[in-house]
């Protein structure tokens, strides 16, 4: 387009203006998931089928007879987004062979939250990755069962108070560390794994495009701030996503054919307290407990940097 030639660096012109996830969906104000979906669908384009797990996304986007989806979309159950996507992918493959489907590339996406991925859906998830279906699994991680009322999942971070891991006299809240889904995905030796966050739209779009262009299974883990569940002000969604990255709580990286590469290395990371101070789910934490979390984040981050260094040195 001529405008692009005049000003190629003007970011909005680099992104498709088409919206495949309609405005007016029933997401909460400041919903990180809705934003993430809007973004990755721009990278996917119209030749895309989304297989959604039960959860917030399904509820906010498909109150019959309304729908927010401008691409073909199917929701089946909670634990099986990956299995449904397996059937969709294999179905298209055989129909194409028989000349009974469009002979063009169709992006098949399985979309689930952290509960639908790390807990109830991990079996179907693992099975579909192992079988090497040509699809992209996207986990929009808001770190608890938000749809049912903020219950803890295995992706809830240590110290977060939820309705089933409430902070109290005898408890810090969530007592276990967050399950590391991107690394579990990577352990399946799939060709592409990436972490991203809608606070960094260009990074998310680029990674989504790479995932869709990957032959075989790809996995995107999207940190999706949730004002309702994290108890932060809704205008802070973008800010909190950035702080998650800037503090090292949620590092952005890619694992391409088994080799880890940091998308950005935070040489001077902000203190974790900057990230958690905005969020009511961490309100109860004492300074010594925040210090403990800081220590864990630092350790994990350093380990990641070492792995990235090692992988890049093997590359060379």
Partner 1 sequence: MGTRTGMEVSAAISEAVKLARAEIIAAYPITPQTHIVEELARMVADGELYAEFIMVESEHSAMSACVGAAAVGARSFTATAAQGLALMHEMLYIASGLRLPIVMVVVNRAMSAPISIWGDHSDIMAERDSGWIQLFAETGQEAFDLTIQAFKIAEDQRVSLPVVVNIDGFTLSHVIEPLVVESQEDVDKFLPPFKPVIQLDPDKPITIGAVGFPELYTEIKKQQNVALVESYKVIIEVWKQFREQFGREYHPIETYRSEDAEILIHIAGSTAGTARVAVDMLREKGEKVGLIRTRLWRPYPFGDIRKTVAKAKAIAAVDRCLSFGGPGGPMCSELKAALYNLDQRPFIAGFIAGLGGRDIMIEDFFTIVEETKRLLEEGQEDEYRMIGVRE
Closest approach of partner 1 to the CB of residue 153, in Å: 20
| CA distance from start to end of the chain | 39
Q: Output 75 or 178, the one with its CB closest to partner 1.
A: 75
Q: Output 43 or 106, the one with its CB closest to partner 1.
A: 106
Q: In 3D, which of 213, 210, 294, 298 has the Cα closest to residue 254?
A: 210
Q: Tell me how far CA of residue 132 lies from CA of 82, 106, 264, in angstroms.
A: 11, 16, 29
d(CA 243, CA 233): 14
Q: Look up tokens 């639908």; give the residue.
A: 116
Query: In the window 28-87, what residues touch partner 1 (CB under 8 A)?
Result: 46-49, 51-52, 58-59, 62-65, 67, 69-77, 79-80, 82-87
Query: CA angle, 254 as apex, 129 and 21 as ends, to 5°?
Result: 75
Asked whether the beta carbons of 116 and 81 are under 8 A apart, the reply is yes
Size of the site for partner 1 (CB under 8 A): 50
- If one asks whether residue 101 binds partner 1 (CB under 8 A), the answer comes out as yes
Helix (H) or strand (E) holding 267: none
d(CA 138, CA 208): 9
- If one asks whether residue 102 binds partner 1 (CB under 8 A), the answer comes out as yes
Closest approach of partner 1 to the CB of residue 234, in Å: 23
Q: Output 57 or 297, the one with its CB closest to partner 1.
A: 57
Query: In the window 115-174, what residues touch partner 1 (CB under 8 A)?
Result: 123-124, 126-127, 130-131
- If one asks whether residue 23 binds partner 1 (CB under 8 A), the answer comes out as no
Could you list the residues that contact partner 1 (CB under 8 A)? 46-49, 51-52, 58-59, 62-65, 67, 69-77, 79-80, 82-95, 97-98, 100-102, 106, 123-124, 126-127, 130-131
């Amino acid at each position: 387009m001529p405008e692009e030639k005049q000003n190629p660096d003007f970011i909005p012109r680099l992104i498709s203006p088409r919206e495949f996830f309609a405005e007016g969906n029933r997401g909460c104000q400041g919903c990180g998931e809705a934003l993430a979906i809007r973004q990755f669908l721009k990278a996917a384009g119209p030749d895309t089928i989304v297989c959604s797990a039960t959860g917030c996304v399904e509820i906010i986007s498909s109150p019959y007879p309304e729908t927010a989806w401008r691409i073909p979309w199917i929701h089946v159950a909670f634990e099986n987004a990956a299995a449904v996507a397996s059937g969709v992918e294999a179905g298209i493959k055989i129909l194409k062979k028989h000349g009974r489907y469009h002979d063009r590339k169709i992006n098949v996406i399985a979309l689930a939250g952290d509960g639908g991925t790390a807990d109830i859906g991990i079996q179907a998830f693992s099975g579909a990755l192992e079988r090497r279906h040509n699809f992209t699994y996207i986990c929009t991680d808001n770190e608890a069962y938000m749809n049912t009322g903020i219950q803890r999942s295995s992706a809830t971070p240590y110290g977060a108070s939820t309705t089933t891991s409430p902070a109290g006299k005898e408890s810090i809240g969530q007592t276990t560390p967050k399950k590391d889904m991107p690394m579990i995905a990577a352990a399946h030796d799939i060709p592409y794994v990436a972490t991203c966050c809608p606070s960094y739209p260009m990074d998310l779009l680029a990674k989504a495009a790479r995932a869709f262009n990957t032959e075989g299974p790809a996995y995107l883990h999207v940190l999706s701030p949730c004002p309702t569940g994290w108890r932060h002000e809704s205008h802070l969604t973008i800010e909190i996503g950035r702080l998650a990255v800037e503090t090292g709580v949620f590092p952005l990286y890619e694992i391409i054919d088994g080799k880890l590469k940091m998308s950005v290395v935070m040489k001077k990371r902000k203190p974790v307290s900057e990230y958690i101070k905005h969020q009511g789910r961490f309100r109860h934490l004492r300074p010594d407990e925040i210090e403990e979390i800081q220590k864990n984040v630092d350790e994990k981050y350093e380990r990641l940097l070492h792995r990235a260094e090692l992988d890049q040195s093997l590359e060379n």
